[in-house]
C-alpha cells in the first residue's frame, strides 16, 4: 500500500516530457520497445518504489528479476535510514551553512563571516587582501544561491554588502585554494569528494565515495550544473568513467579540459577519510552524513555536510561491478532491519 501511495504521489509531480525523453534514451541504449520500457517503469514504480529517473540510472532495462532488483536502495529506503539515524533537531546544524561552519570550524580550513551577526565594518575588514570571495545563501543546495565574486569588479564595498544582504547571501567565505592535482581535472571549480559515513554502535562505516567534477565552464561541480561524477575506490583512485547527466555520456577523459579521469589518484585521500571519520563523531545524534570534501593546498577540508545523502549516484548501473548489485545489502549488513 505504501508503494502504491508513493507511485501516485510521484505520478502527480512527474514530467511526462522528461519521462518520455528518458524512455527514448533507454530505448536507444537497449533497443527495447518503448512500450515495454514504459510498462516496466510503471511496474518498478509500484513494486519497488523506483521512479523513472532511477530506473535509468540503475539500469533496470538490463537488471532482471526481483532478487537482483531488490538489491537497489530506493528513495524511500534512503529516507528510512535518515529517519532512523539522524535526529531532526540536531540535523538543523547541517541545514544552515553558517551554523555548519561554526560547528565544524576545525575542519573547514577557511575564513568566513555570517552577515546576520556582523555589520559593514567587519565585512569590509574581511575583504582586505582578498581577490575572490564566495557569497552563499545559508540553506540552499545543488549549487543554488552561490556567487563567486571577483573583488576588483566591486570598488564600492558598501554596495556589495547591501547587495548580498538583499539577496540573503549571508555566508561569505574566502576561496579554497585547491590542490594543483585536483585543479588539473577542472580548474574552474573546486572538485569535491562525496564521502558517506554511517555510525552504528560507535563504529564508523564508509558507505561509498565518489568525486564530482565541474564541466570546465562553471565554478560549481554539481551534477545539476552539468558536472559529472564517478566512483572512487578505497585508495582514492577514479575507477570508472565519469558520467555527465546533462549529456548522458561517460568520459574517461574530461571533454572540456582534456584531463585523464580514469585512473586518476586523488591526493591525500586517506587523510580525507580520517577527517570525515573524526567529523562523523562530532554530533552523536546525527549518524548518517554525506560529507563534501575539497583537497586544498594544505590538505583535505570540509565544504559541507548533508544529512540526506544521495542513494542514486552510487548505484549507477555502468559503475557497478560485474554482478550489478545495488548498495542495499551493504546498508542491511551495517544497520540490520532499521530500513523500513
- Cα 224 from Cα 21, distance rounded (Å): 17
Strand order from edge to edge, sheet including 132-136: 112-114, 171-174, 132-136, 146-150
14 vs 8, 104, 150, 278, CA distance in Å? 10, 37, 39, 40
Number of Cβ within a 10 Å radius of residue 18: 11
* Whether residue 224 sits in one domain with residue 284: yes
pTM for this model (two decimals)? 0.92
What CATH number is given to the structural domain containing 143?
3.30.1490
Q: Note whether residue 90 is domain-resident.
A: yes
Residues 256, 331: one domain?
Answer: yes
In a domain? residue 102:
no
Domain identity same for 90 and 142:
no
* pLDDT for res 281: 98
Share of the chain above pLDDT 90, in %: 84
Residues 203, 170 share a domain: no
Amino acid 71: pLDDT: 97
**Does residue 76 fall inside a structural domain?**
no
Could you report the per-residue pLDDT of 111-128, keeping only the tens digit for each? 999 999 999 999 999 999
Higher per-residue confidence, 339 vs 18: 18
Mean predicted confidence (pLDDT) in 122-143? 91
* 25-41 confidence digits (pLDDT tens): 999 999 999 999 999 99
- Strand intervals (E) in the chain: 112-114, 132-136, 146-150, 171-174, 193-200, 203-213, 228-231, 242-244, 249-251, 288-296, 299-306
Write the pLDDT tens digit of every residue in 237-296: 999 999 998 888 999 999 999 999 999 999 999 999 999 999 999 999 999 999 999 999
Domain final residue, candidates 141, 174, 207: 174
Q: Is residue 16 pLDDT above 90, yes or no? A: no
Q: Is residue 49 part of a domain?
A: yes
CATH number at residue 194: 3.30.470.20
The mean pLDDT of 197-203, rounded to a whole number, is 96
Is 69 within the bounds of a domain?
A: no
Q: How many domains does the chain have?
A: 3
Residues 210 and 261 grouped into a single domain:
yes
Both 297 and 197 in one domain: the answer is: yes
Residue 13 domain-assigned (yes or no): yes
Q: Are residues 243 and 261 in the same domain?
A: yes
Same domain, 332 and 206: yes
Select from 123, 140, 174 the last residue of a domain: 174
Domain termination residue (choose one: 174, 193, 214): 174
Q: Which of 248, 184, 235 is nearest to 206 (CA)?
A: 235
162, 99 contact by CB (below 8 A): no
- Number of residues assigned to the chain: 340
Res. 144 pLDDT band, cuts 50 70 90:
confident
Task: Give the pLDDT confidence of 202-233 residue by residue, as tens digits.
Answer: 999 999 999 999 988 776 666 655 789 999 99
My answer on whether 208 and 315 are in the same domain is yes
Check whether residue 163 and residue 250 sit in a common domain.
no
Residue 70 within a domain = no
Residue 6: pLDDT above 70? no
State the cell numbers at 327. Answer: 548498495
Whether residues 229 and 296 fall in one domain: yes
Residue bearing the bigger pLDDT, 225 or 130: 130
Whether 14 and 141 share a structural domain:
no
Per-residue pLDDT band for 336 (boundaries 50, 70, 90) equals confident
Q: Is 236 contained in some domain?
A: yes
User: Residue 10's domain spans which residues?
Assistant: 2-64
Amino acid at each position: 500500500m505504501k508503494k502504491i501511495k508513493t507511485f501516485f504521489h510521484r505520478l502527480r509531480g512527474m514530467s511526462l516530457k522528461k519521462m518520455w525523453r528518458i524512455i527514448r534514451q533507454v530505448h536507444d541504449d537497449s533497443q527495447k520497445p518503448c512500450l515495454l520500457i514504459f510498462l516496466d517503469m510503471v511496474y518498478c514504480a509500484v513494486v519497488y518504489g523506483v521512479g523513472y529517473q532511477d530506473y535509468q540510472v540503475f539500469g533496470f532495462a538490463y537488471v532482471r528479476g526481483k532478487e537482483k532488483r531488490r538489491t537497489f536502495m530506493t528513495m524511500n529506503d534512503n529516507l528510512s535510514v535518515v529517519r532512523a539515524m539522524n535526529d531532526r533537531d540536531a540535523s538543523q546544524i547541517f541545514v544552515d551553512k553558517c551554523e555548519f561552519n561554526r560547528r565544524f570550524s576545525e575542519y573547514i580550513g577557511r575564513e568566513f563571516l555570517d552577515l546576520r551577526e556582523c555589520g559593514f565594518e567587519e565585512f569590509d575588514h574581511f575583504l582586505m587582501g582578498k581577490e575572490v570571495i564566495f557569497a552563499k545563501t545559508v540553506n540552499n543546495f545543488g549549487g543554488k544561491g552561490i556567487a563567486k565574486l571577483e573583488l576588483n569588479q566591486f570598488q564600492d564595498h558598501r554596495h556589495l554588502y547591501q547587495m548580498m544582504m538583499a539577496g540573503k547571501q549571508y555566508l561569505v567565505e574566502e576561496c579554497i585554494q585547491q590542490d594543483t592535482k585536483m585543479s588539473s581535472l577542472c580548474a574552474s571549480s573546486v572538485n569535491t569528494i562525496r564521502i558517506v559515513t554511517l555510525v552504528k554502535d560507535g563504529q564508523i562505516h564508509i558507505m561509498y565515495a565518489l568525486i564530482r567534477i565541474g564541466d570546465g565552464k562553471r565554478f560549481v561541480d554539481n551534477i545539476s550544473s552539468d558536472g559529472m561524477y564517478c566512483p572512487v575506490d578505497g585508495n582514492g583512485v577514479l575507477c570508472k568513467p565519469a558520467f555527465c547527466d546533462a549529456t548522458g555520456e561517460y568520459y574517461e577523459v574530461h571533454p572540456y579540459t582534456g584531463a585523464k579521469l580514469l585512473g586518476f589518484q586523488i591526493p591525500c585521500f586517506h587523510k580525507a577519510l580520517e577527517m570525515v571519520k573524526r567529523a562523523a563523531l562530532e554530533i552523536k545524534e546525527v549518524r548518517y552524513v554525506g560529507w563534501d570534501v575539497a583537497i586544498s593546498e594544505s590538505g583535505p577540508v570540509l565544504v559541507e555536510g548533508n544529512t540526506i545523502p544521495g542513494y542514486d549516484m552510487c548505484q549507477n548501473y555502468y559503475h557497478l561491478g560485474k554482478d550489478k548489485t545495488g548498495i542495499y545489502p551493504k546498508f542491511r549488513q551495517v544497520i540490520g532491519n532499521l530500513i523500513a
